[in-house]
Amino acid sequence: MRRPPHTLVAVAAALALTAAATSAATADTDSGTPTPGAPGIGDPLLPGSGNGGYRVDHYTLGFDWQGPGIAFPADTEIKARATRNLSRFNLDFAGNTLGRVTVDGRTARTAREGDELVITPARALRRGQEFKVRVQYTADPTQQRHRDDAIETFGWIPTPDGTVVYPQPDGAKMIFPSNDHPSLRARTTVNVTAPDGLTALSNGTLTDKRRAGQGRTRWTYDSRQPVAGQLFQLAIGSYTLVDGTTPDGIKLRDAVPPALVERVEQYRALTPRHLAWVQSKLGPYPFDSYGIVVADTDLGVALETQTLSLVPKADLLGDKVNAERNMVHELVHQWTGDSVAMDRWADLWLSEGHARYYERVYSQENGGAQLEPLMRDAYRQHDIWRRDTGAPAEPTEPNLFKRMRYDGSALVFYALRAEVGDDTFARIERAWATRNRGRAVSTADYVALASRVAGRDLAPFLNAWLYGPRTPPMPGHPDWTVDPA
């Protein structure tokens, strides 16, 4: 909307009023009695995830690794800012053995309530105040949980001589005290001390590696771009590091168990080609570097841990079509899921639906199955999935990594493309990934942006697909049928 110039005075007056109202509200809040921060951010699918009353700017994580299955000293330092007067606040933290907790250097009182660590500082925190929390603990690298969906097992994932981690969806709290929700992100510095001869890896860039004495080495990684708990990676073990640079200057670093280097080379070497392909769809790669850690584990699924995807070895030891599908899927997530994050868990269809859609499109162009019959099959089952696990943007249970969020959501993008045409769809997608870089955004944001780019209101079309009780007709395919639910 453009504002005619004669209303500027009115606007200025309105702004002054708003400022006065804001400062009155602020004064009111500042003088208000400090109250407890919320134990969650109100995400109905995972109500305890994240915390209220403050924002985290930076995590400094320390892991003093001792060996597979051995509990070890760890500590987390959190730089945060109170968003209101706080008598106490929570962190998400599960298992492990809690040690001393300080706030700005003073010992704080703590209580553990399920997966919530409740911290009461010696002095209440004022709105806007920056503060530092330090949590010392003994980490339990055997801690895992199980889910009744595609993830199955998450938490610490052992390897023969070390570990990797699989924090999705809310398992970061098993690894470090955090605000464990995908919309709550902070920069990280990770210091890992491990026996000489092992390699430690985490998100971002290796900024320091030094002898730590007694046969140990300390590795430091910094992530310039904020990381959500579910996208955190910590890999420790024997790895051969393979560095490279793509033709357009993206730094590559893969970590491969030495015995597998030659066997996975043919697929690992495809990453520059995959990067170029995804960039042609979703715009520039959003981070400083990319790589995969090939995990010597029989874990069933890969994970898009930010800048360093976790890929179980079986994914790269089978046939080419499957290997590429898995690699492209995790790579697409770096744009959608990682850089463009979910606002709430109900927005998961945007993350998994995009990854599945592009994985399938790439595969079709590179010797894999044709997209159309796959989408027709997903269409046929869509009402059954709708009934069993909820419409694409309306999952009805916390076990939300079900087929509706993958094939059933890829189908929504397929339908949108059929509705608006290839060119408009391509512009929507590129705009989505580039304009929302580094932001947590919602399904409503996608619908609004798609409508703006298309120049027409797509809400009736998309909302029927995303929330409706029944699967709408597929544009261009009046003969497609849906099995009755």
Part of the chain binding Zn ion (CB under 5 A), chosen from 59-67, 114-122, 348-356, 442-450: 348-356
- Least distance (Å) from Zn ion to the CB of residue 170? 16
- Least distance (Å) from Zn ion to the CB of residue 375? 18
Residue 331 touching Zn ion (CB under 5 A)? no
Please list the alpha-helical segments (H only) found in 342-468. 348-365, 371-389, 407-420, 422-435, 443-454, 459-467
CB 139 within 8 A of CB 72: yes
| HSE-up (13 A, CA, CB side) for residue 15 | 6
- Least distance (Å) from Zn ion to the CB of residue 400? 12
Part of the chain binding Zn ion (CB under 5 A), chosen from 5-13, 235-243, 346-354, 391-399: 346-354
How far the first Cα of the chain sits from its last, in Å, is: 45
d(CA 140, CA 459): 47
Part of the chain binding Zn ion (CB under 5 A), chosen from 2-10, 115-123, 349-357, 455-463: 349-357
Site string for Zn ion, 359-378 (x = CB under 5 A): --------------------
367 closest CA partner among 320, 316, 407, 328: 320
- Least distance (Å) from Zn ion to the CB of residue 318? 18
Nearer to Zn ion, 189 or 363 (CB): 363
Part of the chain binding Zn ion (CB under 5 A), chosen from 36-44, 66-74, 253-261, 352-360: 352-360
158 closest CA partner among 36, 68, 240, 91: 68
- Least distance (Å) from Zn ion to the CB of residue 242? 24
- Least distance (Å) from Zn ion to the CB of residue 327? 12
Nearer to Zn ion, 194 or 355 (CB): 355
Part of the chain binding Zn ion (CB under 5 A), chosen from 230-238, 263-271, 305-313, 351-359: 351-359
- Least distance (Å) from Zn ion to the CB of residue 186? 23
CB 228 within 8 A of CB 99: no
- Least distance (Å) from Zn ion to the CB of residue 352? 5
- Least distance (Å) from Zn ion to the CB of residue 150? 8
Nearest residue to the partner Zn ion, using Cβ: 355
* Residue whose tokens read 């109250």: 35
Nearer to Zn ion, 74 or 355 (CB): 355
- For residue 5, the 8-state DSSP code is G
Nearer to Zn ion, 119 or 350 (CB): 350
- Least distance (Å) from Zn ion to the CB of residue 159? 21
Cβ contacts of 340 within 8 Å, gap of 6 or more: 350, 432, 433, 436, 437, 438, 439, 441
Nearer to Zn ion, 326 or 471 (CB): 326
Residues 395-434 contacting Zn ion, CB under 5 A: none
Cβ contacts of 252 within 8 Å, gap of 6 or more: 242, 243, 244, 245, 246, 271, 272, 289, 290, 291
- For residue 318, the 8-state DSSP code is S
d(CA 113, CA 122): 20
Residue 252 touching Zn ion (CB under 5 A)? no
Site string for Zn ion, 278-307 (x = CB under 5 A): ------------------------------
CB 256 within 8 A of CB 218: no
d(CA 255, CA 203): 12
Residue 342 touching Zn ion (CB under 5 A)? no
d(CA 194, CA 212): 9
Nearer to Zn ion, 137 or 357 (CB): 357
Cα separations (Å) of 467 from 26, 251, 261, 267, 326? 38, 40, 46, 39, 28
Nearer to Zn ion, 250 or 410 (CB): 410
136 closest CA partner among 101, 111, 109: 101
CB 74 within 8 A of CB 135: no
Residue 355 touching Zn ion (CB under 5 A)? yes
Part of the chain binding Zn ion (CB under 5 A), chosen from 139-147, 157-165, 292-300, 344-352: 344-352
Residue 424 CA, chain-centre distance (Å), reads 27
Going by their DSSP bridges, the two strands 86-92 and 35-36 should be labelled as parallel
Part of the chain binding Zn ion (CB under 5 A), chosen from 129-137, 185-193, 345-353, 436-444: 345-353
Nearer to Zn ion, 337 or 390 (CB): 337
Nearer to Zn ion, 133 or 340 (CB): 340
Size of site (CB under 5 A) for Zn ion: 2
A 10 A CB-CB count for 370 gives 11
Going by their DSSP bridges, the two strands 341-342 and 162-166 should be labelled as unpaired
- Least distance (Å) from Zn ion to the CB of residue 326? 9
Nearer to Zn ion, 355 or 454 (CB): 355
Nearer to Zn ion, 170 or 352 (CB): 352
Nearer to Zn ion, 236 or 301 (CB): 301
d(CA 480, CA 254): 43
Residues that bind Zn ion (CB under 5 A): 352, 355
